[in-house]
Every structure is written in structure tokens, then in C-alpha cells.
Chains A and B, each alone.
Chain A
């Protein structure tokens, strides 16, 4: 949608026309008896010359920058790149949204804990995944299980494998979570709150699955996404600077 703004580029002809018009008016020399001469069409006498070339150039640049700022262009200027994905981050999605900024022959390497997508991503560039699975620090939690099916629950806690180890204590002690089991439903609000807090303490979110090492082949038919805003700040600064320059030059010319 924003690329429609490029159709506004003909507005650059306006300053070109203005500067040329002035030239035409200055050109005719005063002659007291000009009224005795046949009126001539100014079109034939116009010279394709411009006055205040620097000001004209600055005005054209100003308008071109304004149009570019509105059109928000995306240029393919990035080369070979290594992207590092933090734990739980999806570098492939991030890359796919801005893929138009990379040159067509750029090679992309993604390191870190890139999560695995549900389907194989289709990208225009060849992407090499050199992922590393992060090692979680082992954590030990103490649990005391009471209630109807205590033996079964103890067996389940003992079977849990992963970075969090559960040590089942025989009796509730300081620092241990008391696990009543599902048969022991909370009787009142305070008991329910205590149960919820206990669940919060023992629960940990599932660790994202890190994609295995692989090379995603380039797919020329893949849709190319372009996310704007890359040049917006720079163009805005240039716009302000050009506007100040244009005002200064115009003021200086009047004086």
C-alpha cells in the first residue's frame, strides 16, 4: 500500500517549473515603445534555463525525501548474517518478516536455542540452523505426599525426569510442599488458595523444543515479506535537515 506513494514523485516537477517560470519573467528587457511591437507568445521565447540551481536542487531533494519517507522503502542491503536466538526466541519468524532486507545471495546462519516450528518454514534464502540446546540447571524440590493415593503419587514424583528433581519426604517438613492428592478437595477458600500456591511452586513450564541441526533450502517461490520502518528515522532526520536548509536558502535569496 505504501508503495503507491511513489506515484507522487512527479511532484518534483513543481519546483523545476517554478524556477523556470521566474527565469522567463526576468528575461524580457523593458522597452518603452514595446506596445508598437506585435505581441509574441512567451512559449517561443522561453529558455530552458533555471535560476537558483542550489535552491532548486534542495527543494527537489526535500520533496523526494518526503515521498520516500511516506513510501517507506525497503532495500536489500544486508549480506551474510549470523542470527543468535535466545531461549524461547523464534529467529526464523523474525527473519521471515524482514527477509526483503537481505540480498538474494546472502547466507543466513541461526545459532542459539531456535525453537522448532510446527511446519518447515519456506524462505527465499538458504538458512543453516546450528542450534544448541541449553542445559538447565538442576533443581531439587522436596515434596511430602499425604492422602488417599499417597503411594501412587510418590511413585509418580519419583519417576519425573528432567532438570527438576523431586525428593519425596516421609513427613511434611520445613521447606517441603505438602501434596494431598486429588481426593483431598479443598474445603474452603483458604485451603484452595494454599493448594493453588503449592501447585505454582511445583509446576514449571514446558521447555521449548530446540530445532535440530539442519539446512533449510532456499525456496524461490516462497512469499517475500517486507516489514517497513527500517529507514524511517533516518529519512525523518534528513527531511528536517533539508527543510531547514531550504528555508535558510530561500530567506537568503530574498534579502
Chain B
């Protein structure tokens, strides 16, 4: 078996600082996740994990009528020449790896970028998870989605194929940031899948830790799944640079908080203490956490996320 190296992403690696900004700006403007996937993956979409087989569709199984959404490269052109109809080659797949995308769509994920208009954490998380879903689909892996929003968990069972990708993209598009994380019982019911080894990618801001989500991720890790966390921040959060004024927590009640330059150090200290605890506990349970700013180019973040996998 050949493991696809993360270094097989020449375009992503070649991106310079100026194009990073362009890329995030484009992400802020894009409303179609399909286009985002094409742009970020730039024609390549393999390397999500060490594949058990080479390429997509090795052993021929049967022909199936073409339906819109199928990839052109899977159309059998010789059969088209003979029969004047489009047929798609179906292949027997025996991938043991299912990819689970976990999207935190609580109210705090609506946090916008203070430097790029239209860009927010939920949009960035959507794009990254959509790209991972597209890569899984191109590799022929099954992939599913869990959206945590407004105290509930919406569960899309894992499946393969382009239709599943469209289903997942539609679910991602529908996810709107609202409410809080579901409680532990609801989350346990939603995330009790996965008896076979799975790859779980959770995109969240992890502002609540410990939380039902963190407990669920650690529990999955203990069940020998490959769990990865994408911790999303904004550049303003990283720099502790906000406009002076009053703020409120979108997920907590009535309390009001004030920001001015004099409290910047206290903010940075509290933030660092929180995320240090998050990272320490994750490291302790062997869950890699990638902290990313949403102003970074999604291609770079995706590459870094997959590089973690390569090390494992």
C-alpha cells in the first residue's frame, strides 16, 4: 500500500502571503461550496489518510447509467462510442476508513473576521469540512456529517459517492450558527457510530472546554478512532485587538463585558490559559489540535491538518 504524502500538494505549498489573503477573501465572497472545493483543492483531492487501495475504483464491478453529478473521468468513453449512451464504471471498494465531519454550529461560531468582510468562523469551518468531504469522496471513502447547533445534533449517515457529497454540502450550507452545544446525552446518541476505524475531524472554536463535545471527542479517541480538532480563531482574537466598547457573549446570558486597551493583557492571559488547557488535555489524550486563524488561506490550513495525519 502506498501512503500518499501530504507533500503532494505543490500548489498549496507554493502559495505566498499575498495569495493567502486573496484566498480567504474569496472564501468570504463564495456562496457555493462546490466552487470553494475546486479552488482550495485545485484539482487534487487525495491524501486524506493512508489509503488501503490505489486510486478510486480498482476492481471493476458493474456499469451504471450516468446521472448528473458523476465525475466525467469515470464515464466509460469506449462504451459511449459503442452504445451512444453514458455509462459510469462502478468499482468494488473496500475502504475501512469512514470520515466523520463534526461541525460546531453554535452561536459563537458566527464570530466574524474583523479584517475581512463577510468571513466568519462557521463559513471557514464549512469550507474546510467540505474540502475534507470532497477528498474523501474522491478517494472513495464513506463520509458522514454531524452538525451541532441550537442544543441538538443533526446526523447525516456515512455513505460514498458524489450524491453523498452533494448531500453533505447541502447540510453544511443549511447549518446556521445558533444556540449552544447539545448536552452529553444527545451528543452520545449522535456520535455512537463508528465501530470500524474512522477519521473524525471536528471544527470548532472550543471556547467551551470541557464540554460535551470535548468529552465526546476524547471518548472517540479512546475507542481508537483518529480524532483531529481544528480550533478556529480570528486574527483579532489572536492579537487581542478589538474596537473599544461593550460586548456580550452570544451563548451566555445577560452579562456585559467591556474592552479597551488596558484590558488587552488580561484578555490575552485568560485566552492563553484557556487554550493551553485545551491543548494540554488534547495532547494528553493524543488528539492533535490545529489552531488556525480564519484569515489564513484554507489550503494551507487543510494541508497542515493533513500533515498531522501523516505524522501519526
State the A residues within 8 Å of B (CB): 25, 27-40, 42, 44-45
Q: How far is the CA of A32 from the CA of B248 in the complex (A)?
A: 8
User: Residue B161 at the A interface, CB < 8 A?
Assistant: no
Given A31-B257, A32-B111, check contact A38 B247 (CB 8 Å).
no
- Taking a contact as CB atoms closer than 8 A, the residue among A32, A35, A36, A40 that contacts B246 in the complex is A40
- Taking a contact as CB atoms closer than 8 A, the residue among A25, A33, A39 that contacts B207 in the complex is A33
Q: How large is the interface on B (under 10, 10 to 19, 20 to 34, 35 or more residues)?
A: 20 to 34
Main secondary structure of the interface of B (DSSP, over half): mixed
Q: How far is the CA of A38 from the CA of B245 in the complex (A)?
A: 12
Q: How far is the CA of A167 from the CA of B304 in the complex (A)?
A: 135
Considering the complex of A and B, which 7 residue pairs feature the smallest CB-CB distances, nearest first? A40-B258, A32-B111, A32-B108, A31-B247, A37-B257, A36-B270, A28-B248
Residues of B with C-beta under 8 A to A42: 246, 256
Residue-wise interface mask of B (252-271) relative to A, using a CB-CB cutoff of 8 A (1 in contact, 0 not): 10111111000100110011
Interface contact B246-A29, CB-CB below 8 Å: yes
User: Residue B116 at the A interface, CB < 8 A?
Assistant: no
Residue-wise interface mask of B (265-283) relative to A, using a CB-CB cutoff of 8 A (1 in contact, 0 not): 0110011001000000000
Interface contact A37-B274, CB-CB below 8 Å: no
Residues of A with C-beta under 8 A to B108: 32
Q: How far is the CA of A45 from the CA of B248 in the complex (A)?
A: 12
Residues of B with C-beta under 8 A to A32: 108-111, 121, 205, 207, 237, 249-250
A25 nearest in chain B by CB position:
B254
Q: How far is the CB of A34 from chain B (nearest CB, A)?
A: 4
User: Residue B242 at the A interface, CB < 8 A?
Assistant: yes
Interface contact A33-B248, CB-CB below 8 Å: no
Interface contact A29-B271, CB-CB below 8 Å: no
Q: How far is the CA of A37 from the CA of B274 in the complex (A)?
A: 12
Interface contact A28-B247, CB-CB below 8 Å: yes
Main secondary structure of the interface of A (DSSP, over half): mixed
Interface contact A38-B258, CB-CB below 8 Å: yes
Interface contact B266-A38, CB-CB below 8 Å: yes
Q: How far is the CB of B135 from chain A (nearest CB, A)?
A: 28
Interface contact B250-A28, CB-CB below 8 Å: no
Interface contact B271-A30, CB-CB below 8 Å: no
Residues of B with C-beta under 8 A to A44: 258
Q: How far is the CA of A35 from the CA of B76 in the complex (A)?
A: 57
Q: How far is the CA of A111 from the CA of B246 in the complex (A)?
A: 74
Residue-wise interface mask of B (210-250) relative to A, using a CB-CB cutoff of 8 A (1 in contact, 0 not): 00000000000000000000000000010000100111111
Residues of B with C-beta under 8 A to A39: 255-257
Q: Which of B69-119 contact A (CB under 8 A)?
A: 107-111
Given A27-B246, A28-B247, check contact A36 B256 (CB 8 Å).
no
Residues of A with C-beta under 8 A to B205: 32
Q: How far is the CA of A28 from the CA of B109 in the complex (A)?
A: 18
Residues of A with C-beta under 8 A to B121: 32
Residues of A with C-beta under 8 A to B267: 33, 36-37
Residues of B with C-beta under 8 A to A38: 257-258, 263, 266
Q: How far is the CB of A45 from chain B (nearest CB, A)?
A: 4
A/B interface sample: 6 pairs, CB < 8 A:
A28-B247, A29-B245, A31-B247, A31-B259, A32-B108, A35-B249
Interface contact B274-A34, CB-CB below 8 Å: no
Given A28-B247, A31-B249, check contact A36 B271 (CB 8 Å).
yes
A45 nearest in chain B by CB position:
B246
Interface contact A33-B246, CB-CB below 8 Å: no
- Taking a contact as CB atoms closer than 8 A, the residue among B242, B263, B266, B274 that contacts A31 in the complex is B242
A38 nearest in chain B by CB position:
B263
Q: How far is the CA of A30 from the CA of B245 in the complex (A)?
A: 11
Residues of B with C-beta under 8 A to A33: 111, 207, 237, 267, 271
Residues of B with C-beta under 8 A to A28: 245-248, 256-257
A43 nearest in chain B by CB position:
B256
Q: How far is the CA of A32 from the CA of B238 in the complex (A)?
A: 13
Q: How far is the CA of A37 from the CA of B244 in the complex (A)?
A: 12
Q: How far is the CA of A36 from the CA of B270 in the complex (A)?
A: 5
Q: How far is the CA of A211 from the CA of B148 in the complex (A)?
A: 96
Interface contact B258-A35, CB-CB below 8 Å: no
Interface contact A30-B247, CB-CB below 8 Å: yes
Residues of B with C-beta under 8 A to A36: 267, 270-271, 274
Q: How far is the CA of A32 from the CA of B252 in the complex (A)?
A: 10
B232 nearest in chain A by CB position:
A32
Q: How far is the CB of B269 from chain A (nearest CB, A)?
A: 9
Residues of A with C-beta under 8 A to B271: 33, 36
Q: How far is the CB of B297 from chain A (nearest CB, A)?
A: 22
Residue among A25, A33, A40 having the largest count of chain B Cβ atoms under 10 Å: A33
Q: How far is the CA of A36 from the CA of B236 in the complex (A)?
A: 13
Interface contact A40-B256, CB-CB below 8 Å: yes
